[in-house]
Amino acid sequence: MTNTDLPSRPWSQRALDGIEWAGNKLPDPAVLFLLALVLTWVLSAALAPVQFTEIDPRTVVRAAAGNITASSAIQVKNQLSGAALTQFLSRMVKTFTEFPPLGVVLVAMLGVGVAEHTGFISALLKGLLALTPRRLLTPALLLVAVMSHSAGDVGYVLVIPLGAIIFMTAGRHPLAGIAAAFAGVSGGFSATFLPSSLDPLLQGFTQSAAQIIAPGRLVNPLCNWYFMSASCLIIVGVGWVLTDWVVEPRLRRLAVDGKPEDQTTLGALSAAERRGLWMGLGTMALGIILLVLAASSGTSPLRARDGSLTAHGSPLMDSIVPLIFVLFLLPAVAFGYAAGTVKNHRDVIKGMTKSMGSVSYYLVMAFAAAQFTYVFRESNLGALLAVEGASFLKGLGLPGQVTIVGVILLSATVNLLIGSASAKWALLGPIFVPMLMQLGLSPELTQAAYRIGDSSTNIVTPLLPYFPLIVVYCQRYVKNTGIGTLVATMLPYSVVFLLTWTVLLLIYWGLGLPLGLQATYTHP
């Protein structure tokens, strides 16, 4: 067969191939972060002398009546000055050790690593696959990924790697499992049936921003709950179609590099595995029961001061990752002894050691990413981009629906550079919320628009703190996976999520469906 006999590939696939090729020509992710660090140094030094007129919303101080009593213009800080470089060097170790994803990944992987080493996860997946129809595997994984938001960042360190193992076990491409889980965990970050700590976190910024021009204005923490619950169905449905019809067919050209020890093939549970699984699940159930009993008391130390278990910063929410460690470690050990895969405590330590070895490359990238993130934050370049973009959008004076779409697109763009949802909203909220209130649009609607943009582009920006970890997950199965491979794989999810989610909000608005508790679309 000659090349002319081969069917031509769709332009969309050729475009993704081009993105993958260009992305993989980039330097190693660790080097890329270091180059971004140098660029930030240079830009901060060049822009530091420039006097900007836009007010930094973080510096605004208001009296009880709402009048501004103090404020200052946004200012880029020179990170090449002697003082800044000295602080950078003196904080280098602390910057690395305090990098938010670092401790989360390492602690969770200790427990998950033992569960993989003993065979507990493999046996559990065999049992689940026996109960889940193959055609429903993708939506089931997406639903679990979306629902994982209620437990903070657990999806990144648990659901995404399990997605690969689940797909591999079912005879499908493991990178497709990673893509589907990543799309649900990060691309659909705001979409969930269950309230999460993100709801009160964003609500606090939204309410403060609304009170800039309406001091008595209150915003319910669950003001977007109904809309985000509906969004969950959209994310799962769209993600299902994209995974099975677009992403996985394209990934089939990538050969899987062998079979890591923690993978298995689809088959029936052996008698030893079945015995160990019952013991492991019983141990996990006992642990969960004890946790529920410990948290049920109104005076439980797991509750926040206001009695909430799920409020941002509550002891229970802060303990999610350690609980993952314990609730995987103990069942895995029970499984191992019952199934005969664990002979003594040295086998348990061996599993932990192996899991730490698997993330060694991530540690190198995390070091570079942490240093860049620190300098970029300190330089105020991200804040400048957010404020300038919001000011430009305000100056256009567009109709309400077009303005809401503009808010979504600007949030999605800023999200490519600033990963934290709360950090972006702390910058954009005091600008967007009062601006749209003056146009007659409610704070609840503005917050919903922001959440769409904030979620949709998470999966295509290498500046997402967990992005290097996802690359490492992929390299366990396809060793030459690079940034370009992952971006090209996730780009269809990002674009389609952004479009369908925006359309859903406009339809919701047009039909007057409730966004959430005590939420409106208009502001008098």
Between CA 480 and CA 461 the distance in angstroms is 19
> What number is the average pLDDT over the span 112-136?
77
In a domain, 404, yes or no: yes
In a domain, 358, yes or no: yes
Structure confidence at residue 67 as a pLDDT band (50, 70, 90): low
CA dist 160 and 172 (Å) reads: 15
Q: Is residue 1 part of a domain?
A: no
Q: If you search the block for the tokens 């609730």, which residue do you land on?
A: 327
Angle at 508 between CA 503 and CA 510, to 5 degrees: 95
Q: Is 186 part of a structural domain of the chain?
A: yes
pLDDT at 146: 86
3-state secondary structure (DSSP) of residue 148: helix
Query: Taking a C-beta distance cutoff of 8 angstroms, is the pair 476, 358 a contact?
Result: yes
When mean pLDDT is compared across 29-38, 331-340, 373-382, 415-424, the lowest value belongs to 415-424
Greatest Cα pair distance in the chain: 79
Q: Is the pLDDT of residue 101 over 70?
A: no
Q: Calculate ∠ Cα 319-320-323, nearest 5°.
A: 85
Is the per-residue pLDDT at 496 higher than 90? yes
CA distances from 138 to 41, 181, 434, 501 (A): 43, 9, 41, 20
Please tell me the predicted confidence (pLDDT) of residue 129: 61
For residue 265, name the pLDDT band (cuts at 50, 70, 90): very low
Q: What integer pLDDT is reported at residue 264 of this predicted model?
A: 43
Of 449, 416, 456, 406, nearest in space to 242 by CA: 456
Domain count, the chain: 1
Does residue 44 lie in a domain region?
no
Residue 196 has which token pair?
A: 């999460």
Flag whether 292 is in a domain.
yes
Asked if the structure places residue 199 within a domain, the reply is yes
Tell me the residue range of the domain where 151 lies. 27-36+75-511
pLDDT of residue 203: 83
SS (H, E, C) 110-141: HHHHHHHHHCHHHHHHHHHHHHCCHHHHHHHH
**Listed range (93-97, 320-324, 406-410, 416-420) with the worst mean pLDDT:** 416-420
Total residues found in the chain within this entry: 524
Q: Kindly give the interhelix angle for 421-438 and 443-456, rounded to the nearest 10 degrees.
A: 140
- Provide the b/e sequence for 69-79 (b: ≥16 CB within 10 Å): eeeeebbbbbb
The pLDDT tens digits for 226-255 are 999 999 999 999 999 999 999 999 898 888
Q: Which residue has the higher pLDDT, 66 or 75?
A: 75
Q: Which residues pair with 142 in a beta bridge?
A: none
Residue in the block written with tokens 């990924």: 145
CB 491 within 8 A of CB 16: yes
| Closest among 445, 458, 459 to 407, alpha carbons compared | 445
The reply to whether 340 falls in a domain is yes
